Structure 1
Amino acid sequence: MSDFLRPAARAALWRWREVLFAAGLAVLGLWWALGSFGVVRWIGVVLVLLGAGIAFAGWQRARFRQGGQGPGVVVLDERRLVYMGPLTGGTMDVADLTRLELEPAAMPSPHWVLTGVGGQGLAIPVNAEGAEALFDVFATLPGIRSGHMLDVLERTPGARVTVWEKERTLLH
């Protein structure tokens, strides 16, 4: 059964899996909403709305995924981010994150550059294995605009771009 689809087609379907699931859920809900009556009709309307919400979230996640064939492995364990790469690596607590940047000129692929409270840095390739977990980490950062982050990732600018920076608290 695994030979039924080409590897590239299988990878594309896997990348957009949440959107495909949401579309199926919405079609089922639409069928119930238009072809039934009573409680089933209202369940269908709820399924359509739920499908639309899941489709939007899945669309954002699919735009963030980069294939997972890059160097290194990303692991998220209890709000601690760990990157194990062939040449570099490190750990950083999500709470200590002060700046998030995209470095498009890094080799062999663009890197997310995370800066911590003490100035320590962690560079993670956008296509490292497990890098899709970074979307959940980045989405929890206060004040981040996910749409801006995805636009920067898709258009790959020519120079380093600051995607998010922690708001500094002043004493006076």
Structure 2
Amino acid sequence: MSGFFRPEAMATLRRWREALIGLAVLIAGGLIALAALTVILLGIGIAFAAIGLFLLWGGLQRGRFRQAATGPGIVTLDEGRVTYMGPLDGGVIDIEDMTVLMLDGRSHPPVWVLRQNHAAPVHIPVTATGSDRLFDAFLRLPGIQTGQMVWKLNRPERNLVLIWEREDGLGWPQALN
């Protein structure tokens, strides 16, 4: 079936797959609610529509976070540990130990900068293979604003942008340059 669609169309469908599933569940729930003959079916339809709305919202954020996986390196996520293996460098960082998350728009493509105390920062290109898994990892950071993170990712500035910092303030870099 993938031979039926152009590769660009398949890439677009894969990027927005969660949002499309949420839209389908929302529409199905709405149709069930509209065609309901009993209060129970109305409740089921409304519940499905609410679930679809949440799936649609989360899918839109994930779709906006995903970038084309054409960059260098591979990202893996295993039980809260992010591993990046690149052609020139790499690194491992535990999400619970992270102190700062930044987006460096000075490089092409932009890179995520993950820092923790007493360790070298890990630089991960936003277009690395598997970098879409970072969305799930970043959700574990307490108090992160995913909407702002996605907005800054899609409108990159030509400087180092702070996305998240641990509340205690430990680990802030000595210099931003």
Task: Tell whether the structures are fold-level matches, with TM greater than 0.5.
Answer: yes
2:101 aligned partner, one-letter code: L
- Offset of residue 64 of structure 1: 0.3
Across the aligned residues of Structure 1 and Structure 2, the Cα RMSD in angstroms comes to: 1.3
Distance in 2 (alpha carbons) for counterparts of 1:78 and 1:164: 21
Alignment correspondent of 2:14: 14
Decide which moves more: 161-170 or 81-90. Answer: 161-170
Alignment correspondent of 2:132: 132
TM-superposition CA deviations, 1:67-107 (whole Å, max 9, x none): 22211100111211100011110111111110011011223
Q: Tell me, yes or no, if the aligned pair for 2:95 and 2:138 is still in contact at 8 Å.
A: no
Distance in 2 (alpha carbons) for counterparts of 1:102 and 1:80: 19
- Offset of residue 119 of structure 1: 4.2
Alignment correspondent of 1:48: 49
Query: Between Structure 1 and Structure 2, how many residues are aligned?
Result: 169
Could you say what secondary structure the match of 2:93 adopts?
Answer: strand
Could you say what secondary structure the match of 2:143 adopts?
Answer: coil
Q: Compute the TM-score of the two structures, normalised by the length of structure 2.
A: 0.91
Alignment correspondent of 2:105: 104
Distance in 2 (alpha carbons) for counterparts of 1:49 and 1:58: 14
Q: Tell me, yes or no, if the aligned pair for 2:95 and 2:140 is still in contact at 8 Å.
A: no
Decide which moves more: 36-45 or 55-64. Answer: 36-45
Alignment correspondent of 2:71: 70
Give every structure 1 segment of 4 or more consecutive aligned residues whose post-TM-superposition deviation is greater than 3 Å.
Answer: none
In the alignment, structure 2 segments of 5+ residues that lack a partner are 171-177
Please say if 1:82 is aligned against 2:102.
no
Distance in 2 (alpha carbons) for counterparts of 1:11 and 1:117: 38
2:157 aligned partner, one-letter code: P
Distance 1:35 1:153, change over 3 A: same
In the alignment, structure 1 segments of 5+ residues that lack a partner are none
Distance in 1 (alpha carbons) for counterparts of 2:54 and 2:2: 31
